[in-house]
Amino acid sequence: MNAIILPSGQADNLTPLTSSTPEFLLPVANKPIVEHLIDLLVRSNIKEIILILEHLPYETEQYFSEGERWGAQISYSLQGRYRGLANSLLRIAARLTEPFLCLPGNLVTNLSISDFFKAHEASRGDITLAKGGVSETALLPATPEDVRQIEALPVIITPKALTVAVTNALSSDFGEAIISLKDESIRTNIYQSSCTINRISSLESYLEVNKLILRGGIDTLILPGKAMGPGFWVGTHSKIHPQAVIKPPVLIGNYCNIHEETLLGPDAIIGNQVIMDKNASVQGSIVLDNTYIGSFTGIKDMVIKKNCMINVPRSITVVMGDDIILGDLDKKTIYSRVECLFNRVLALIILLLSSPIAFVLTLYHLIFPDKKYLYCEKSYSLGTRTELSGEMTPKTFCLYLFRSKRRLIHKLPGLINVIKGDLSLVGLSPITKEQLANLPEQWQSLRSQAPAGLFHPWEAEGRGERTLQEKLVMENYYAATRSLLGDLKILCGIAAQFTAKISKTA
């Protein structure tokens, strides 16, 4: 038995959510909307599924592939433009040799598919539509008004009805083609039950359906994450500070970081890889994947997509230019990868240029091992790793150094740490275990915003050794304002000092 999932033809109504996300992959309760339908079909033992693709089709096909992950067999029919049910079914008519089920791709429902099919078989009809929201189950003859909704409701169609309707259709409107058949014995029925049938066709309906799911209004859906209590689900590898306030129903995705004194709920859905900073709040809203919510930012009755804020009641969309309020973590991930590549390539170039010096000094260490000229120092970097309790987990690594009073010679082996990814070329100074133990929590939080580095901000100024307090102040300012261009300026300043010292020596 086949099931066909159709485009809604209304993807534009959900802009900007569907501007870069396929309609079929629009997240509903942190799962693509069509994945909920596939779960429903497979549980009803319907495993042969055809997706009619129109909007961003290749991303959809890449996600669902052939359906092995769901225990289904998924195939596709690609359409450059969706022209209605009749046109879509005509393209795949040869594959439909027995009664089949059609579902709109923007549908969220708890309809019992098996009961629906039993009612269709008992009616001996040709077309059966499903409606919900009634107290008693009933099977009734369909009115013309019912048939006109055929593309908006779950419907079972027999091959006979398909052949007759498509042959007689003068337009792409399948329902009107059925209604116009005066002499044909095509029987249409309505199956009414207490199920919930919702279509997401606007931003308002999108927000309301998600809230309905959280409140248990569509109880057959499989929500991602682990149930931590009534109305509270949390995905894998998410970190929630003990001082965060949770007011169910709340759904939190995977790899999220919820900081202290944040407020979540009621009716809050947090997508995957979302960071909520201190004192932020989300109520009656949806925050989609890879979004940063800054400190003291309040979100209520909104849909947030990275740095785009959609006020649903007012139908206002605002793109935030300030990443301190709302940020796009995808951009930060790309920047981080570019920065990491830049650091490793530049460190490798410097190491190759200085390889004669490094070779001689390493040889000296091997000849006189008792002097331990090349040594390893256990160091700590805070990074951004946080446990579920909210405590920082410092990153430990072995920093390679030469015993030399000349700063650049002293740090030369540390280029290996940069190539390994332990350090950036420019960053905060790695700290010892004792310094870490004595570092106030406020300073720890500030230092977690930037990586440890081989070279440090104050070294570009050419002054002597700084006190620990001076270093902390300069490094925290650096952590708040750092950029790739700023790192290049610091490296140029250090290189200029080195060149000046060589000139004086000469």
pLDDT at 389: 33
pLDDT at 183 over 60: no
- Angle of helix 329-353 relative to helix 355-367, nearest 10 degrees, comes to 70
For residue 75, CA distances in Å to 51, 83, 98, 151, 225 come to 6, 19, 17, 20, 28
pLDDT at 501 over 80: no
Higher local confidence (pLDDT), 470 or 59: 59
Higher local confidence (pLDDT), 86 or 244: 244
* Helix, strand, coil shares, percent, the chain, to 5: 40, 25, 40
Contacts (Cβ under 8 Å, ≥6 apart) of 105: 5, 6, 7, 8, 23, 24, 33, 34, 37, 51, 52
Cβ atoms of 104 and 6 closer than 8 Å: yes
pTM of the model: 0.70
The CATH architecture to which 224-324 belongs is 3 Solenoid (2.160)
- Give per-residue pLDDT as tens, 82-114: 888 888 888 898 899 999 999 999 999 999 999
- Give per-residue pLDDT as tens, 110-133: 999 999 999 999 999 999 999 998
Average pLDDT score over residue span 71-78: 95
2-199: CATH topology: Spore Coat Polysaccharide Biosynthesis Protein SpsA; Chain A (3.90.550)
Average pLDDT, rounded, for the chain: 87
Q: Which residues pair with 100 in a beta bridge?
A: 157
- CA 426 to chain CA centroid, Å, is 30
Within this chain, domains 2-199 and 224-324 share the same CATH topology: no
Q: What does the CA dihedral 434, 439, 441, 443 come to, rounded to 10 degrees?
A: -140
> What's the burial of 206, exposed, middle or buried (CB within 10 Å: 0-12/13-18/19+)?
buried
Residue whose structure tokens are 């081989």: 454
Phi-psi region of 372 (alpha: psi -120 to 50; beta: other; left: phi over 0): left
Domain segments of the chain: what residues? 2-199, 224-324, 329-505
